[in-house]
Amino acid sequence: MPPADLAIARIVRRLPSRGLRGYASGKLRIDPVYAEATRILAGSPLGLLDIGCGMGLLGAYLREHGWRGDYLGIDNDPRKIAAGRAAVAGVLPPLRLEAGDDRALPAFSGHVALLDVLHYLPAPRQRALLAAAAAHVAPDGLLLIRNVLRDRSWRYHATVFEEHLLRLSRWMRTGATYFPSLDEIRGPLQDAGLRVECRPLWGRTPFNSHIVTARRA
């Protein structure tokens, strides 16, 4: 079994139910954001605040690939936090997962991740969260955002349909509210003094996902 598959197997087997194991296995194998985040953060001594962490799969994946920084994941869904704590039990260095809200971020300075979070919030809260997240980025740190961008592409429409299915499945507590444009993400970050870059991160998926990196010089 290739090393990447072994790492995913170690993460998945700690989850408490067959359904969660199936979901996590598919997510970690197909979604390119985990490998990309690992590539970007590899070797950095800074910690990571993962806002909307879900089950903490990003933190677990980073640990399996040798990243040893401090990790704090927050999510507003207690079910996912409970499952994630089971999945990271015994992982060293420890990964912290806490129930929390995007409107009351904990004290933290380092890297910040917002993976597939923004479009579940209305536009004013998106702007507020981007400003708050930027304030937690340390010198030499970055804000890593993966999100669907609003445009006229077939990928965008495929993503809207997929989000509708997720809502029907009740995996997400709330449905997608507002898909931002790149300018709507870039503006608050540039106002906070971050240098913003964006590129597609589709992988093998049909979704209109992009990765935005905002660095503090």
| 198 DSSP β-pair partners | 212
Residue type, 177: T
Q: What's the pLDDT score for residue 85?
A: 93
Domain span at residue 185 reads 32-98+107-215
- Tell me the average pLDDT across 74-78: 94
Specify the number of domains making up the chain.
Answer: 1
Q: Which two tokens stand for residue 193?
A: 């003094």
**In this structure, what CATH number is given to the domain that contains residue 68?**
3.40.50.150
Residue 91, domain member (yes or no): yes
Q: Which among 6, 4, 95, 99 is positioned nearest to 54, based on CA atoms?
A: 99
Residue 25, domain member (yes or no): no
| Average pLDDT over all residues of the chain | 91
Residue 66, domain member (yes or no): yes
**139 upstream amide cis, omega within 30 of 0:** no
Q: What's the pLDDT score for residue 117?
A: 95
Residue 169, domain member (yes or no): yes
How many CB atoms lie under 10 A from the CB of residue 25? 17
How many CB atoms lie under 10 A from the CB of residue 158? 15
**pLDDT tens profile 14-26:** 898 999 999 999 9
**pLDDT tens profile 153-212:** 999 888 887 776 666 555 555 678 899 999 999 999 999 999 999 999 988 888 899 999
Q: What's the pLDDT score for residue 7?
A: 86
Q: Which two tokens stand for residue 139?
A: 């010198």
User: Phi and psi of 43, rounded to 5°?
Assistant: 85, -5
